[in-house]
Amino acid sequence: MIPTNTRAAQVILEKLGHVPATVHEVMDKAVTLARAFFEERDLPVDPFLFPNIVRYEAKLLFDSPKYRAVGYMLSVLSNNGLLLIYNFESTIYRIRVRKADEDGAFPTQNLSEGVKEFCRQPNLPLWADGIEDWEEFACPEILKLFIIWDVDEAYGFTGCDLACTKNEFGELAFADSIPHSAMSIQVENDFNEWPTEIEDIDFRRLDKTGTGQGDDGDDEDN
């Protein structure tokens, strides 16, 4: 997806907290499970069935306690459509999770009336363009967003994008890629540092009898 008004997208990504990384992680797992569905049956991937299995697996994962703890509500739409509702500050974020079109772009063909309605945000042009101080800006009461997932030609997961539309034609107000969920994992800084209770290497200076004389040696050159 072509990044659009990325500064706005980054501000919204931040406001969504752990939700974007969670969606990324869930969709990665769902794609892996969908691939496994065909692999276990020794069948080639069916391009029509594949996204349905992804959505179904994603629904199960989104509904699991591990991910629900992030704080969204899951609403399942017709045809396994996925809608997450997340409240932050005074805004209700309604997030639809959809697959990218064949070119990896925001899907604008054959949109249902329900999706067209979701795409319409008449109040958005007032603030989505040209506002410099995004951190200070208060979001509208309801902000409708899309998270678009995609796969490569081998059905490997390629990632997710956040997108916000202005109108029923799918014209984008802003869009940007969501960082990989592994980016939210952090190695401890002291991974290879010695714990404080560890002992130093056990060398001692030899005395004249050939045995250790203690743990500290003085400068022999003095």
Partner 1 sequence: MATTRIINGDRVKQAREIKGLTQEELGTKIGKSQSTIAHLERNSRQLLLQPSEGVIEAIAFETGFPVAFFYQDSGPEFPLGSLLYRTRHSILKREDKHRFHQLGRLIYEVAEKMAHQLTPLENRIPKVVGENPSVAARITRAKLGLLPDAPVRNLLNQIEKNGVFVFAIPYEIDEQDGYSCWTDSEPPRPVIIVTGGKPGDRQRFTLAHELGHLVMHHSFPGGLSKVEAEADEFASELLMPEDAMHREIVAPVTLTSLAELKVRWGVSLAALVMRSKSLGIITERQARYLFVQLARWGEEPDNLKIAPEKPRALKRMAELLHGFPTDHRKVAKHNLSNLELISEILEAHADKPAGALRVAKKPTHTNVVQFSGRRKKA
Q: What tokens appear for 91 in the block? A: 């805004």
| Residue 135 touching partner 1 (CB under 8 A) | no
Site membership for partner 1, residue 132 (CB under 8 A): no
Nearest to 108, CA basis, from 153, 148, 51: 148
We find the least distance from the C-beta atom of residue 174 to partner 1, in angstroms, to be: 24
Site string for partner 1, 142-161 (x = CB under 8 A): ----------x-x-xxx---
- The DSSP code sequence of 60-129 is HHHTSHHHHTT--EEEE-GGG-EEEEEEETTEEEEEEEEE--TTSSPP-TT--HHHHHHH--TTTHHHHS
Which residues are CB-contacts of 14 (< 8 A; sequence separation ≥ 6)?
Answer: none
Contact 142, 95 (CB under 8 A): no
Using CB under 8 A, pick the residue from 8, 19, 35, 172 that binds partner 1: 35
How is residue 160 annotated by DSSP?
E
- 209 binds partner 1 per the rule CB under 8 A: no
3-class DSSP assignment, residue 20: helix
Binds partner 1 by CB under 8 A, chosen from 25, 150, 161, 176 = 25
Candidates 68-76, 124-132, 139-147, 193-201; binding stretch for partner 1 (CB under 8 A): 193-201
Site for partner 1 contains 78 (CB under 8 A): no
User: Which one of 9, 13, 20, 28 is in contact with partner 1 (CB under 8 A)?
Assistant: 28
**Helix or strand or coil: residue 2?**
coil
Q: Under the criterion CB under 8 A, does residue 126 sit at the interface with partner 1?
A: no
Nearer to partner 1, 135 or 220 (CB): 220
Stretch that binds partner 1, among 8-16, 44-52, 123-131, 213-221 (CB under 8 A): 213-221
Query: H or E element: which one contains 150?
Result: strand 142-151
Residues that bind partner 1 (CB under 8 A): 24-25, 28-29, 32-33, 35-36, 39, 152, 154, 156-158, 180-206, 211-212, 215-222
